[in-house]
Amino acid sequence: MPASLTPTATAQPASSTPPSAEPALTNAELVQLRVRVIALENMVIALLANAPPSQQALAREMADYISPRPGYTPHAVTIHAADQMRSLVDRADRFQPAHLS
């Protein structure tokens, strides 16, 4: 694995509340979360559009890294996340200055 994608250990604070005891999100909170995700996706696309090829390659490499490896159980959500990462880079290609002429 490339050094750029080597995971690092980070301390996670212990949660005093079990996940099942947390209140469910309201509809308004879910809508706000969806809006924020859309905004973040568009921000990532804008940043990748002006990123050097090495940065775009790193994003694709990360998508490959989270994709299931031989011998491991594939998880649909992880596969979808990797596909979405590749899609963001592909969508950013359309907005690169060379493509806007």
- How confident is the prediction for the chain on average, in pLDDT? 84
pLDDT at position 8 is 54
Higher pLDDT, 63 or 21: 63
Instruction: Identify the CA nearest to 67 among candidates 82, 77, 88, 85.
Output: 82
Amino acid (1-letter code) at residue 37: V
Q: How far apart are CA 71 and CA 64, in angstroms?
A: 15
pTM here is: 0.67
